[in-house]
Structure 1
Amino acid sequence: MQLLKGLASFSARPASCSCSPPPIVRMEPMFRAHDISLRFDTDRAGTGPLIWGQIAIWDVISWLPPGDASLNALVEWPIPDGRSIDDVLTALRTLVERHDSLRTLVSEGADGPHQQVIGSGSFDIEVHDIGAGLIADAVAELGPDLHDIPFDYGIHLPLRVVMLISGDKPLLLLLSVSHMAVDGWSYKIVQTEFERLIAGETLDPPGQQPLERAEYEASAQAIAREAKALAFWAGHMATAPACMIATKRGVNDPDFTSATIDSPALSVATRSLAIRCGIDAGAVLQGAVALLIAAYTGEREAVMRKIVATRFQPGSRLMVAPFNQNALFRIDIADEPLTEFLGRCARAAMLGYWHSEYHPRKLESMVADVASERGITPDGYCFFNDARFAASNPAAPDPAAADAAAVGLADLLPRTTVTEERMPKTPKGANFFADLFELGDRALLHLYVENGFLAPRGPADFLRDVERLLTRAAAGEESASVHKLYAEFS
């Protein structure tokens, strides 16, 4: 696969730094290529500590093996007809100048990790003229290397850009964006702003910048919120089922199997139940996963870590930065209809969100202390990550609309595919890690499981049961007792 010239050149260095990005060898390109250097210049620059969300991602990056690029996202931004290359460059420049996280360097210092926001600099955009070629072919050729080369965060800005053109007509931007720059929510902010800029619209002032957020996190208000969050976690960690906290592998090497379900039927069923309950579709899927975790492990409750973006304050709602924290989700198994259980799951998730602002290293230290008191080794959690670049505002429950949404559900079931494979990579701190990637025309749910955690069953069995449970419920069995469902899937 071809390596791209100039990928390492999306970088900015302080004047005192004489180091250069490592050279990248490339083979002969499939398309004619050249570089465009784009200058940015803003009066916002400075240094400071990482915010809590940045620390959470930085610690995962530090845990990953050298050369791992799994926290990079490869995305495509189509360019509408009638726009010029200068229009695209102006929009990109505006985005980089608006959002400090897109021009921030991160490195480890004597007192911990810190960030340096670069005020002025330039970066190279690699331009490929594909002529009459297909955009899909160019993306397939260029995309893997654009994504797979890791960033050196102390040297390289956390974004790489390739522009596809035909003659003087821009067609598409292909970007590799690091998780150190954005989370799912703020990626959508940047994408939407690009679409508005390229359409000639004027944007409102940007949201809070990371260094401004760092000032808040040092305030008395933030420290008080952190104390409440840590106390909430400590209370639950002291009593949660040990199997949902403790590592399964012990001193052995990680041993994971993963499975993926691709199911239009699961998506339809989930959306139907969301309408029936008046909750977000992701909350429905999360509730089904929780019920099955309890049933598979034989526990009368489920405890999961949710990966969330804690944008509770108006200023942080539009902040572009990694804002990920873990929220604690805990739900007991009660004798009630599934719809009532799903509603309780949505409320339990909200309680967890409210207690999810804290310094992540303080949390892990506290959890280790509590686990030690219980005589268990932590680092074996059940994670649920709603990784969709979307959000919804649930309406009031509507049984008639729910029934209509489920029409044709049975006809979709034959289109389901479930694949399973052993994984060389492993999720950090998990026995069970579910990623929800899509919930539109299809549900795309990926699951990593430490072997033995769901024994004698595995992740493929679990995903098939998620589909079976929710499709049956959407087809008219939603009043079935949760106790009966628990017994059936145990």
Structure 2
Amino acid sequence: MARITVPFKADPPDGEAIADLAWGQREIWTAMVRQESWLPIGYARAVPPGTTVEDLAEQVSFLMSRYPTLRTTLRHEPDGRTRQVVAATGEIDVDVVDAADGEDPAQVADQVRQRYWDGEYDLIHGWPAWIAIVRHRGAPTHLVVVMSHLVLDAFGGIVMLEEIAAFTAGTPLPPTAMPPVEQVRWQSSPAGARQNAAALRHWEKMLGTVPFRRFPHRHEPRSPRHWEGQFRSPAAHLALRALAERTKVDASPLLLATFAISMARITGINPVVVQVVVNNRFRPGLARSMSPLSQTGICALDLAGRTIDDAVRLTARQAIAAYKHAYYQPSDVDDLVARLAAERGEELDLACFFNDRRIEARGREAGPPPTPEQLRAALPRSTFTWTRRRDTSFERLFVHIEDVPDTMAVTIAGDTHHISPEEMEACVRGMEAVAVRAALDPAATTEV
């Protein structure tokens, strides 16, 4: 393996800065600390035939120059704060990996991506990205870029890929959207203070009267302790289409409602309190920011004794309120939670998360709703598979909705000390059961 060094310079110049972490950065940083992971995000991307190493080095220089988060390191202050240090100029080392004759360059690129994915990164002294060029018979075939989640989120990744394509095509690009240092300035302004105060009022209202526990009892933890599984259900996808047509509610709150109903049935705890991941790109100036912007909004879903259709509509209203109040200073919410716990004399357990991370399909689908016969025929095709077991931490419960065509695709990860593997599988299968029952019977209720 060879290595080349690529210089870069901030565009526009004057890019050097030291600042507090922006709200979205602070949220993902605390998650990284809790989960003992730098939460990598990235890709191994094929490059067009005829691309040279020099072409790819120019792309890397463009990325490092354009996006401040790629040239940002962390600094831990004596008072315990973590701040960001943005460099104006510098160099980054890029690995050059040669696929041998007989090797598939795509497989080699994915192996490099996985090695970077599993690696340990120094976010204080090194850049938050690992980059490699994969060659076959001397010609580049792939560019591998793996970054810390402090650089960007999934929607920022879309912006980055679109701007790489524009740069390669020679299309002029507008100035970058609001980077974290500018976000910090707005967040410190009177407008930012008002947004933060409104969010805190919403959180306090939601948490003021709910049960403090999310899980009814503790289990003997397995070893490894933290488990992750994948559920795939074409039938639930069809059922959700029927529900969306009937209720006029989009898929994301529909999925959240099925999760909340299933969780209430499993735990017996109601309302279901869940932190919903919100990407915040609907806010002014942030739509095309290449930085982490996701934060969690809080929902307390009391769906007992309702029809599923009514539960879906209530969930949609609560979700909108959660989205509106999911932009705040995370340490202020931490202080609020600590105060409420001290007042009530018990731990306030909020480690239950729901993340719709689909990009391709998030709205209602066009076309006629499925028939009951089509729905029932799809039920035998549902699958559940345990994919990972590890001792480093997941959250207590984290449900991700994935982008899989024509399928309700759910990844569920949890701490077996708080929720057993059997309960995790029951939760996602329960989501399917709720959706199918409601699709077949408009009068179906949230009760078992």
The TM-score, its normalising length taken from structure 2, stands at: 0.88
Distance 1:441 1:353, change over 3 A: same
Pairing partner for 2:398 from 413, 419, 433: 433
Q: Describe the superposition over 1:402-444 as per-residue Cα deviations: whole angstroms up to 9, x where unpaired.
A: 237x88444443332212475423334x3x2212233424433
- Tell whether the 8 Å contact from 1:143 to 1:174 is kept in structure 2 after alignment: yes
C-alpha distance in 1, partners of 2:102/2:90? Answer: 34
CA distance in 1, matches of 2:169, 2:138: 18
Task: Give, in whole Å, the separation in 1 of the partners of 2:414 and 2:133.
Answer: 38
Distance of 1:156 and 1:271 partners within structure 2: 47
Q: 2:380 aligns with which of 402, 414, 418?
A: 414
Number of residue-to-residue matches in the alignment = 442
CA distance in 1, matches of 2:291, 2:217: 31
Q: Does 1:460 align with 2:425?
A: yes
Root-mean-square deviation over aligned CA pairs: 3.1
Q: Is the 8 A contact 2:215 2:269 kept in 1?
A: no
Look up the SS of the partner of 1:487 in the other structure: coil
Deviations 1:51-104 (A, max 9, x none): 111112222333344xx44x0124222223454443333233222211111110
- Report if aligned partners of 2:24, 2:295 keep a CA contact under 8 Å in 1: yes
Unpaired segments ≥5 residues, structure 1 = 1-32
SS in 2 for 1:39: strand
Q: Determine whether 1:329 maps to 2:299.
A: yes
Name the amino acid aligned to 1:120: T
Residue ranges of structure 2 left out of the alignment (5+ in a row): none
Amino acid aligned to 2:267: T
Question: What residue number does 1:20 align with?
Answer: none
Q: 1:451 Cα shift?
A: 4.0
CA 1:214–1:247: 2 relative to 1, 3 Å = farther
Match of residue 24 from structure 2: 53
Counterpart amino acid of residue 443 in structure 2? A
**How far 1:327 sits from its partner (Å)?**
0.3
Q: Deviations over 1:215-270 (max 9, x none)?
A: 111101111111111111112211112223899589x9995444321333334443
CA contact (8 A) 1:245 1:381 kept: no
Instruction: Write out aligned runs for 1:125-144 (5 A).
Output: 125-130=94-99, 133-144=103-114
Q: 2:133 aligns with which of 163, 180, 183?
A: 163
Which stretch has the larger CA shift, 377-386 or 83-92? 83-92
Provide the C-alpha distance between the structure 2 equivalents of 1:325 and 1:364, rounded to a whole number of angstroms: 13
Q: Is the Cα contact below 8 Å between 1:248 and 1:450 reproduced in 2? A: no
**Alignment match, 1:444:** 409
Q: 1:222 aligns with which of 183, 186, 192?
A: 192
Partner of 1:206: helix, strand, or coil?
coil
Match 1:80 to one of 39, 44, 48: 48
Structure 1 equivalent of residue 161 of structure 2: 191
CA, structure 1 residues 135+401, in 2 after alignment: closer, same or farther (shift >3 Å)? farther
Is 1:94 aligned with 2:100? no
Q: Which amino acid aligns with 1:446?
A: T
CA distance in 2, matches of 1:233, 1:96: 37
Distance 1:63 1:455 in 2: 20
Q: Verify the 8 A CA contact 2:304 2:447 in the aligned structure 1.
A: no
Within-5 A mapping of 1:26-425:
33-42=1-10, 43=13, 44-65=15-36, 68-69=37-38, 71-111=39-79, 112-130=81-99, 133-167=103-137, 169-244=139-214, 255-333=225-303, 335-390=305-360, 392-394=362-364, 401-403=368-370, 408-420=374-386, 423-425=390-392
Amino acid of the structure 2 residue aligned with 1:232: H
Q: Could you say what secondary structure the match of 2:403 adopts? A: strand
Instruction: Give TM-score, length-normalised by structure 1.
Output: 0.81
The residue type equivalent to 1:487 in the other structure is: E
Quote the Cα distance in structure 2 between the aligned partners of 1:61 and 1:292: 28
Q: Verify the 8 A CA contact 2:8 2:61 in the aligned structure 1.
A: yes
CA distance in 1, matches of 2:23, 2:211: 27
- Of the structure 1 ranges 315-324 and 332-341, higher mean CA displacement relative to structure 2 is found in 332-341
Shift in CA distance, 176/466, structure 1 to aligned 2, threshold 3 Å: same
Counterpart residue type for residue 143 of structure 2: L
Bigger drift between 207-216 and 449-458 goes to 449-458
Give the SS at the match of 1:364: helix
The answer on whether the counterparts of 2:224 and 2:390 sit within 8 Å (CA) in structure 1 is no
